[in-house]
Amino acid sequence: MHNRRVKRSSLACLPCRSRHAKCDGKRPSCTRCAEVGQSCSYAPSRRGLNSRPYLRDHATSHGSPQQAAGIAGFEQCTMLSLPADAPPMSAMLNVDLGDSSTDCIPLSENSSRSENIANDPLIHSYYKNFHVCHPFVLPRKHLVELCQDPRTEHGLAPLLTAMRFMGNIYSAREWSIPLKDRVESTLSNLGPSDPIQVQCRILYSIALFWYDYKADAKSQLDRAAQIAIDLQMFRAEFAASQGATDQVWRESWRRTWWTLYIVDAYYAGTLGTMNFRVMDLDVTVELPCDESDYELGVIPIPRTLEEFNQREFITDNVHFSSFAYLIGAVQCAASAISITPKVATVEDSTHLIQAVDCSLDGWQLLLPREQKHVIKGKGEIDELLFQAHLLIHVSTVGLHRPLSALNFNAIEKVSSCAREPPRDTPTPELVNVHTTRVLRAVEAQIRLLALPAPRFHHTPFTTCMVSEGMLALLSACSTLLKGKELAIARDQIRMTLGCLKVLGEVWPRTARNVREIQTIARCVLGLGKGSNDCDMRGSSDLSSLDTQGVDPNPVIDGLSKDNNDLGAALSTIDDLCGWYSAGDADDFPWGMIDGL
């Protein structure tokens, strides 16, 4: 590093320079600034100037606050990245601010001050891209105000670091090792009972998981759960004790617990483990309010979980937020799973329909008119309701498919979202009912994905919810659907893969899942090169499958990785494309599919 010549990049804009990020130099706005909604501006020519104070003074007097903050941030960044024996700063005045060859990040000790937060492009990216999916940290306006207060700004610094890390993933579409190291450093310096750890570790865990660091993600969420339980964050008294008179802070802590609850369930469902960390507790913390109230900082008297679970008996028109209905959906899904046997029998067929369906259907039937649809008045998608509906539908698919005529194909094992297929399940008398339930749930999922929106932007946890429904639809294409219905289903599969590809542009684990689904689809539908290989028996050779570069173990840095070797996963499959039959598809009355 001592002798490396710093490359000059005269086209870099000031915001990119302050972040030490690559800049394409487009005018009036570079691509990076345009993506994050950042004001883009360029410094005047520095020819003949060798004074960095001039740059700062010029930006202050003639430019925007972002420019001044950006240059000040670079100065601090440069100092932090120099070795102890580096030449003095005065000897390096000709180093250009746009160098993108180092991993330096602006890390001034005052980086949490309000003027930096208000104009920080990574914080902006966090709120634009991630906050809408999991809105538990403070609203942006309130965060800026607290960062201006010397009594609270220092305590928020670790959270800001985690938010910047997540924001960078969305804006730069890459894994920043310096930012990751900064997150781990700040976490290690926090006190063992500091509740801000829970918020930080939830964010860090999600980023780790969808970058395919499954073991590290689990470790972070385990730690977050243990801290939350030790602090009794699930009790109503916790938020009151932390927020003092600040009702927005109190609401944020309530949301933190419930986000932990939801994400814990998402992990259990995504991984197929069904091991819940925080499910069976005597929870008294109140439910979150509406997003509009939270963003405005006008927090109403919160509703309780007990009120929500007795809403069918309330005669008055009591309102519950979308967040509350998402919590209720998680409750229903967890309850349904808990009473469903791991190995279904004929007798379980009636049990599932009578007991489990009542829970899932009850959630949908008790939705108020304004929350039965996830499109808001201005055409925006209510992300929390979107997740809730999707969760209810995927739960229906997962619970009914083992007893339906939608047989499991052994090649489904390729998918990291696939569930263990049932073996030797006898055909239940109500097989047609189960099949219909699955197909209707899949259709409902597809309607959600087809909602008009500027872009497909949702939590990465929708990946496996969508994928499980698509695997069931592929089975229907292979065994049940014909003619027009088959053509429609194929279009639906194309659209669904397109949606997942959008998520895959940000999250490598989703991108890998897309390639897995493509491999399965080619095999199941008998398409292209891979279809001939699907007839092989007793083969565990991964090269026989055209996986389009599926890498089950991408390596980014030294973090631990789980072994997801697809070859090993397929090694015990006797018939690579044989069916695990849940009943004779020929006995299914084709007319039942009409109108679904």
Q: Is the peptide bond before 300 cis (omega within 30 degrees of 0)?
A: no
Q: Residue 570: is its pLDDT beyond 50?
A: no
Helix axis angle, 247-271 to 214-230, nearest 10°? 140
Q: How far is CA 364 from CA 117, 371, 447, in A?
A: 40, 10, 15
Q: What percent of the chain has pLDDT over 70?
A: 69
Task: Answer for the pair 441, 466: CB distance below 8 angstroms, yes or no.
Answer: no
Q: In sequence order, what DSSP letters do the residues of 106-170 get, joined into one string?
A: ---TTTTSHHHHHH-HHHHHHIIIIITTS--SPPHHHHHHHHTSTTTHHHHHHHHHHHHHHHHHH
Strand partners, 537: 575
d(CA 202, CA 200): 6
Predicted pLDDT of residue 33: 76
Contact status, residue 98 vs residue 12, Cβ threshold 8 Å = yes
pLDDT at 36: 63
Does residue 580 surpass a pLDDT of 90? no
163: pLDDT strictly greater than 50: yes
Q: Which two tokens stand for residue 390?
A: 């999707």
Helix (H, G, I), strand (E, B) or coil at 409: strand
Say which range, 133-137, 345-349, 495-499, 516-520, has the weakest mean pLDDT: 345-349
Nearest to 177 by CA among 554, 504, 556, 560: 556
pLDDT confidence of residue 272: 77
Helix (H/G/I), strand (E/B), else coil: 580: strand
- Does 498 score more than 70 pLDDT? yes
Return the minimum-mean-pLDDT range out of 393-402, 412-421, 487-496, 579-588.
579-588
Q: Where are the beta strands (DSSP E) in 352-427?
A: 408-409
Out of 9-18, 84-93, 169-178, which region has the weakest mean confidence (pLDDT)? Answer: 84-93
Give the number of C-alpha atoms closer than 13 A to the C-alpha of residue 141, restricted to the C-beta side. Answer: 8
**Which residues share a beta bridge with 12?**
none
DSSP 299-364: PPPPPPHHHHHTGGG--S-----HHHHHHHHHHHHHHHHHTS-SS--HHHHHHIIIIIHHHHHHHH
pLDDT tens digits along 27-62? 888 887 776 666 777 765 434 333 333 333 333 443
At 5 the pLDDT is: 40
DSSP 545: S
CA dist 190 and 147 (Å) reads 18
Question: Which secondary structure element, helix H or strand E, spans residue 579, and what is its range?
Answer: strand 579-580
Mean pLDDT across 360-369: 87
Higher pLDDT, 205 or 483: 205
In this model, does residue 4 exceed pLDDT 70?
Answer: no
pLDDT given at position 37: 65
What is the C-alpha to C-alpha distance for residues 495 and 501, in angstroms, rounded to an integer? 10
Q: Which two tokens stand for residue 424?
A: 């030797």
Q: Which of 2-16, 495-509, 538-552 has the lowest mean pLDDT?
A: 538-552
Distance CA 570, CA 574 (A): 9
* 267 vs 264: CA distance, rounded Å: 5
Please tell me the distance from the alpha carbon of residue 99 to that of residue 4, in angstroms, as a whole number: 12
Mean pLDDT over the full length of the chain: 75
Task: Kindly state the tokens that stand for 348.
Answer: 């379980």
Domains annotated on the chain, with CATH: 7-41 (4.10.240.10), 334-527 (no CATH)
DSSP H or E segment with residue 526: none
In this structure, the dihedral spanned by the alpha carbons of residues 259, 260, 261 and 266, taken in order and rounded to 10 degrees, is: 90
Q: Which of 131-145, 357-371, 425-439 shows the highest mean pLDDT?
A: 131-145
DSSP letter for 451, please: S
> pLDDT band at residue 512, thresholds of 50, 70 and 90?
very high
Using pLDDT thresholds of 50, 70 and 90, give the confidence band for residue 22: confident
Which one, of 234, 155, 161, 229, lies nearest residue 196 by Cα?
A: 155
Give the whole-angstrom CA distance, residue 145 versus residue 168. Answer: 23
Q: Which residue has the higher pLDDT, 134 or 398?
A: 134
This prediction has a pTM of 0.74
* Spatial separation of the C-alpha atoms in residues 127 and 134, rounded to whole Å: 10
Handedness of CA 380, 382, 386, 389 (dihedral sign): negative
Does 3 have pLDDT greater than 50?
no
Cβ–Cβ under 8 Å, residues 430 and 350: yes
Predicted pLDDT at 546: 40
Contacts of 357-362 with C-beta under 8 Å, sequence gap 24+, read 357/396, 357/437, 359/332, 359/335, 360/332, 360/333, 360/336, 360/392, 360/395, 360/396, 362/312, 362/332
CA angle 265, 271, 275 (to 5 degrees): 50
Nearest-angstrom CA–CA distance, 50 and 44: 13
From residue 105, alpha-carbon distances to 18, 36, 70, 77, 273 in Å are 8, 18, 11, 6, 38
Averaged pLDDT for residues 99-125: 58
Measure the CA angle with vertex 60, ends 55 and 65; round to 5°: 115
pLDDT: which is higher, 138 or 116: 138
What is the rounded CA–CA span in Å between residue 156 and residue 204? 15
Calpha distance 463→447 (Å, rounded): 16
160: pLDDT strictly greater than 90: yes
Helices 65-81/52-62 angle, 10° precision: 160
The residues pairing with 408 across neighbouring beta strands, listed in sequence order, are: 580
Each residue's pLDDT tens digit, 265-324 = 999 888 877 678 888 889 999 999 999 999 999 999 999 999 999 888 887 788 999 999
